[in-house]
């Protein structure tokens, strides 16, 4: 009996403990449920909503690019794409086989599609091909019953209606690479394009705009059920350029098939009216994708169609540089405009003879005569007096040897040598003979056509350090503000010295015997003042000088002189500056000067038509 009572007490005690434990567990569970369902209810409602509603980014339309008269240079057009949804096909391979009988599918396309099908969920559409023609779209739609899982989608694609005209300035767009990432969520979108060159690259952020959003309802596996809300993005800015595409077209036609560049700029505002580089390329090919043969043809072309020679091509400026040497000598007091130098056809410095381009020499020359006749000996002598360091200092003030600051990528600075540069770059001392050679724009001296146009503009406008640009408005991030009237700094050159150089340039083009007299403009009020240049690319030996120097047309193309010409017009009231460089073109007076003359006539005709109000209602 005693043992039975003990067992009963033990049993009751254990039952109470078990009941207490169960009560504690039930209480804890109830408290947790209350916390989750009451206190944290809003949080979990929001999470559930986030799982049900997916917020997706919408790409905005890329801003168009227009010339100064509103002519479209870069726009957006429909991009017809064919997609395939793997889960809707009986067999992806079968569908691709059927589709390949209608449109061209390469082995690379098929491998890419198969790889994406394995990586993505079966209901996610895969892009098969982009940029379909309307005929290809029609053939696919007609055969739609036999193409399960295939559908047509319409997006936007960049299009350049003028094709190769202005391609070097525009640049092109292409898929985003790792180096292009800026943190903008738009860059993560499939098919998004970013600027890769030209103004498309420099003003990419302004042109791409701001993305919109689409709220869609999805199920547990991410399949879209319906769109709940849509907010369109903000399109990119309309980018207006300073270029006149009618003049650009004329300049390109005038340059023809030559490897050449032409720059025309407003000497007061810095606006680039023409920037032509030939030969060119079609930027649409980069958007749709170049074939291996197309790429090989572009890269192997000796005339370098992919290079914008206007700001990336560096050339010895030849005699166009003599204006800089003249101003340096005048400013240093090494020569006066009236002082004369006798040219017998050569100059002796030590045991080296430096030749003038004219074998018999030019006789006695003053500054205006030296420029008019492009007498090498005159400039050898004044350069010997002034020294290379002063010449280099003046050259940089007028835009040579340093980037101009133009709003385009890949500008090369050229090279203006001095004593310090040679010590640093070549670890060698400067030799007196090098001063003579570089003073006539040969030797180490290099400049771009854009720099030569900038130099000429600063000479013509009274020495103001005008900076070239291609955007008419000031672009800041994603906005375009009207450009205010620029206040250019001075080149710090005495007006009387600039006036003497301009007088020499007038003689070059308008006085009988001037090196560009045959390429003068005869129309009253359109006269130009210029300077010719012919830059050697090979060494002429003494034996060749004795037997007769070969003419350019007797030499292979690669050994011919570069032909250069710079000018401004009209002479009595300067407005435009021009620089023309024809690579291996021969003589500047025979080749480059006539091209520049014809282009400047068209430029001034356009200006007169605008002033008369007969330019189709457009304004420059």
- DSSP states of 380-427 as a string? HHHHHHH-HHHHHHHHHHTT-SS----SSS-----B---HHHHHHHHS
Asked whether residue 24 falls in the same domain as residue 155, the answer is no
Same domain, 96 and 224: yes
What is the reported pLDDT for 620? 40
What does the alpha-carbon distance between residue 308 and residue 197 come to, in Å, rounded to a whole number? 11
What is the model's pLDDT at position 175? 74
pLDDT range class, residue 161, cuts 50, 70, 90: very high
How many domains would you assign to the chain?
A: 2
| pLDDT band with cut points at 50, 70 and 90 for residue 261 | very high
Residue 438 domain flag: no
Catalytic residue among 277, 280, 307, 319: 319
Domain range for 178 is: 56-239
413 inside domain: no
Distance (Å, whole) CA 261 – CA 250? 13
**Same structural domain, 11 and 74:** no
Is 50 exceeded by the pLDDT of residue 106?
yes
The verdict on 161 and 232 lying in the same domain is yes
Average pLDDT over residues 24-30: 76
Supply the pLDDT for residue 616: 45
Instruction: Specify if 397 maps to a domain.
Output: no
Q: pTM of the prediction? A: 0.82
162 and 83 assigned to the same domain: yes
Asked whether residue 278 is assigned to any structural domain, the reply reads no
Domain boundary among 217, 239, 261: 239
- Helices and strands, counts by H and E, the chain: 22, 21
Residue 9 lies in a domain: yes
3 state SS of 154? strand
H or E segment at 378?
A: helix 376-386
- What CA–CA distance (Å, rounded) separates 619 from 574? 20
* CATH code of the domain covering residue 107: 3.90.1310.10
- Per-residue pLDDT band for 617 (boundaries 50, 70, 90) equals very low
Max mean pLDDT among 22-36, 197-211, 229-243, 404-418 falls in: 404-418
Give the span between the Cα atoms of 513 and 563, in whole angstroms. Answer: 19
Tokens of 569: 């017009």
Rounded to whole angstroms, the Cα distance separating 40 from 510 reads 90
Residues 21 and 70 reside in one and the same domain: no
Torsion of CA 602, 606, 611, 614, to 10 degrees: 130
Element (H, E) at 141: helix 134-142
Check pLDDT > 80 for residue 262.
Answer: yes
Question: What's the whole-number mean pLDDT along residues 114-135?
Answer: 79
Average pLDDT over residues 275-285: 92
- The answer to whether residues 129 and 164 belong to one domain is yes
**207 assigned to some structural domain:** yes
Token readout for 276 is 């032509």
Tell whether 13 and 146 lie within a shared domain.
Answer: no
Q: Would strands 352-355 and 346-349 be described as parallel, antiparallel, or unpaired?
A: antiparallel
Whether residues 138 and 220 share a domain: the answer is: yes
pLDDT of residue 189 exceeding 60: yes
Residues 162 and 201 occupy one common structural domain: yes
526 in a domain, yes or no?
no
- Supply the pLDDT for residue 59: 76
The mean pLDDT of 566-589, rounded to a whole number, is: 93
Burial of 365 (0-12, 13-18, 19+ CB in 10 A): buried
Within-domain flag for 26: yes
User: Which residue, of 239, 272, 299, is where some domain finishes?
Assistant: 239
Helix (H, G, I), strand (E, B) or coil at 301: coil
Residue 319 annotated as catalytic: yes
Backbone angles phi, psi at 429, to 5 degrees: -75, 160
Same domain as 63, residue 25: no
**Distance of alpha carbon 468 from alpha carbon 272, whole angstroms:** 6
Q: Which residue has the higher pLDDT, 187 or 445?
A: 445
On whether both 157 and 234 belong to a single domain, the answer is: yes
Confidence of residue 42 (pLDDT cuts 50, 70, 90): low
Band of pLDDT at residue 229, cut at 50, 70 and 90:
low
Instruction: Quote the pLDDT of residue 466.
Output: 95
Statement: residue 420 has pLDDT above 50: yes
Q: Is 333 helix (H, G, I), strand (E, B) or coil?
A: coil
To the nearest whole number, what is the mean pLDDT of the chain?
85
My answer on whether omega of the bond before 570 falls inside 30° of 0, hence cis, is yes
Q: How confident is the model at residue 619 (pLDDT cuts 50, 70, 90)?
A: very low
Instruction: Count Cβ neighbours within 10 Å for each residue of 420-447 and write b for 16 or more, e otherwise.
Output: ebbeeeeeeebeeebbbbbbbbbbbbbb
Name the domain boundary from 239, 259, 292. Answer: 239
């Amino acid at each position: 009996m005693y043992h039975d009572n003990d067992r009963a007490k033990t049993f009751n005690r254990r039952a109470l403990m078990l009941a207490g434990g169960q009560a504690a567990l039930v209480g804890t569970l109830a408290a947790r449920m209350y916390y989750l369902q009451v206190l944290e209810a809003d949080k979990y409602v929001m999470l559930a909503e986030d799982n049900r509603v997916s917020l997706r980014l919408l790409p905005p339309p890329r801003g168009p690019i227009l010339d100064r008269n509103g002519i479209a240079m870069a726009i957006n057009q429909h991009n017809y794409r064919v997609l395939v949804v793997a889960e809707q096909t009986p067999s992806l391979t079968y569908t691709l086989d059927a589709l390949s009988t209608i449109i061209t599918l390469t082995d690379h396309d098929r491998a890419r599609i198969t790889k994406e099908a394995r990586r993505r969920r079966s209901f996610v559409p895969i892009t098969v091909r982009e940029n379909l023609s309307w005929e290809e779209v029609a053939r696919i739609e007609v055969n739609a019953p036999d193409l399960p899982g295939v559908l047509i989608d319409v997006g936007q694609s960049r299009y350049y209606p003028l094709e190769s005209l202005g391609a070097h300035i525009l640049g092109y767009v292409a898929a985003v690479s790792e180096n292009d990432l800026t943190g903008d969520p738009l860059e993560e979108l499939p098919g998004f394009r970013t600027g890769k060159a030209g103004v498309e690259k420099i003003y990419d952020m302004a042109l791409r705009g701001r993305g919109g959003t689409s709220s869609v309802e999805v199920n547990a596996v991410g399949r879209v059920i319906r769109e709940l809300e849509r907010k369109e993005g903000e399109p990119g800015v309309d980018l207006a350029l300073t270029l006149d595409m009618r003049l650009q077209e004329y300049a390109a036609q005038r340059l023809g098939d030559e490897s050449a560049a032409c720059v025309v700029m407003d000497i007061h505002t810095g606006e680039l009216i023409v920037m032509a580089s030939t030969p060119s390329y079609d930027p649409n090919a980069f958007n749709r994708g170049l074939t291996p043969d197309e790429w090989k043809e572009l890269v192997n072309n000796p005339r370098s169609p992919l290079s914008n020679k206007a700001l990336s091509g560096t050339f010895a400026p030849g005699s166009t540089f003599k204006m800089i040497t003249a101003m340096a000598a005048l400013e240093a007091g090494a020569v006066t405009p009236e002082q004369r130098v006798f040219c017998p056809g050569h100059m002796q410095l030590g045991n080296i003879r430096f030749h003038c381009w004219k074998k018999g020499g030019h006789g006695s020359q003053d500054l205006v005569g030296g420029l008019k006749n492009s007498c090498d000996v005159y400039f050898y002598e004044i350069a010997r007096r002034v020294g290379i360091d002063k010449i280099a200092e003046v050259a940089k003030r007028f835009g040579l040897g340093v980037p101009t600051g133009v709003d385009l990528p890949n500008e090369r600075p050229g090279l203006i040598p001095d004593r310090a540069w040679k010590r640093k770059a070549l670890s060698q001392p400067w030799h007196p003979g090098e001063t003579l050679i570089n003073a006539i724009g040969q030797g180490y001296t290099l400049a771009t056509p854009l720099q030569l146009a900038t130099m000429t503009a600063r000479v013509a406008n009274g020495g103001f350090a005008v900076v070239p640009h291609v955007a008419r408005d000031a672009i800041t991030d994603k906005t375009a503000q009207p450009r205010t009237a620029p206040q250019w700094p001075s080149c710090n050159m005495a007006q009387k010295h600039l006036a003497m150089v301009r007088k020499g340039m007038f003689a070059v083009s308008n006085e009988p015997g001037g090196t560009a007299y045959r390429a003068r403009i005869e129309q009253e009020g359109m006269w130009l003042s210029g300077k010719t240049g012919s830059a050697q690319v090979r060494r002429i030996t003494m034996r060749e000088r004795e037997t007769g120097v070969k003419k350019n047309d007797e030499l292979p193309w690669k050994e011919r002189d570069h032909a250069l010409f710079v000018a401004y017009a009209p002479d009595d009231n300067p407005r435009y500056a021009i620089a023309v460089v024809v690579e291996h073109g021969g003589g500047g007076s025979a080749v480059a000067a006539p091209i520049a003359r014809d282009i400047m006539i068209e430029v001034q005709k356009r200006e007169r038509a605008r002033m008369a109000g007969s330019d189709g209602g457009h304004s420059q």
